[in-house]
Amino acid sequence: MARNPLIAGNWKMHKSERQAEEYIQALLPRVAALEGVGVAICAPYTDLKALADSARGSRVEVYAQNMHQEDQGAYTGEVSAPMLSEAGVQGVVLGHSERRAQFGESDHALALKVPAALRAGLTPLLCVGESEQERDAGDTERRLRQQIAEDLGGVAAEQLSELVIAYEPVWAIGTGRVASPEQAQEAIAFIRALLAARDERAAQQVRILYGGSVDPDNAAGLLELPDIDGALVGGASLQVDSFARIVAAARR
Ligand code: 13P
């Protein structure tokens, strides 16, 4: 079953609204002709409305980088899924390793956030991946199995196909140590097999991306592999030129 590739740029805490606007105006013509490739920009909250307005009607979708699991309430500093949806946002990154490590994002919270995003019509982009220590200890599969089981525990099997999953080994994020195509392919095939145990059809439809030190030089070697449905790009998404070259590399 053909899955359209998705290239998502995770800006993390970069770009003011003005910088975001300049970027999107430069990106739109660069990706307009790349049919069959989905593009998403995962931006800080303050950029989302402007980006969504500028990208409307184009192939570029706008994602947030986090959200709260409740629709509303006494949660100072938080933003909910319906708020993102009303701002024109199409998806949301959940469980990024930086949020897990630095902000206490737990598998328990993710088990509530993923269904909350789906209820609001947002595409959850769930990040999973092992640390260097876990890989060295031979614990990669155990870690992936645990994250997939717990984070997706609240999602009905037939809804799994609406998700995007990003395999982001923690040791490859921001380090320049990109996973080899074989390492990425092996982990992603394992994740797909875990999903297939819940729903074979959904597992064939769900897009699974690779993330961690993707750049214009290594993208093609990763994206040509059959199980890798795209990339979640950090540093190399901050410049329009390098991001657009990665999008172009995803064309099949
Ligand atoms: P880098 O591409 O900078 O390694 O970041 C990857 C990442 O964390 C994307 O979410």
Cβ(60)–Cβ(31) below 8 Å:
yes
What is the position in ligand 1's atom list of the atom closest to the CA of 127? 10
Q: Find all residues with CB under 8 Å of 221, minimum gap 6, and list them.
A: 181
Q: SS3 for 92?
A: strand
CA 174 to ligand 1 centroid distance, Å? 6
Judge if the beta carbon of residue 211 lies within 6 A of ligand 1.
yes
Judge if the beta carbon of residue 73 lies within 6 A of ligand 1.
no
What's the CATH number where 96 sits? Answer: 3.20.20.70
Asked if the structure places residue 1 within a domain, the reply is no
Domain that residue 208 falls in: 6-249
Tell the residue number behind the tokens 């947030």, with chain if given. 64
Judge if the beta carbon of residue 233 lies within 6 A of ligand 1.
yes
Helix and strand counts by DSSP (H, E) for the chain: 11, 8
What is the position in ligand 1's atom list of the atom closest to the CA of 235? 3
pLDDT 10s digit of each residue in the chain, 252 long? Answer: 579 999 999 999 999 999 999 999 999 999 999 999 999 999 999 999 999 999 999 999 999 999 999 999 999 999 999 999 999 999 999 999 999 999 999 999 999 999 999 999 999 999 999 999 999 999 999 999 999 999 999 999 989 999 999 999 999 999 999 999 999 999 999 999 999 999 999 999 999 999 999 999 999 999 999 899 999 999 999 999 999 999 999 987
Asked if the structure places residue 234 within a domain, the reply is yes
Asked if the structure places residue 170 within a domain, the reply is yes
Minimal-distance CA residue to ligand 1 atom 1: 234
CA 227 to ligand 1 centroid distance, Å? 19
Report the predicted TM-score, pTM, of the whole model to 2 decimal places.
0.97
Total count of domains within the chain: 1
Phi and psi at residue 205, in whole multiples of 5°?
Answer: -95, -25
CA distances to 36, 228, 241 from 2, in Å: 11, 12, 28
Judge if the beta carbon of residue 222 lies within 6 A of ligand 1.
no
Tokens of 70: 């409740």
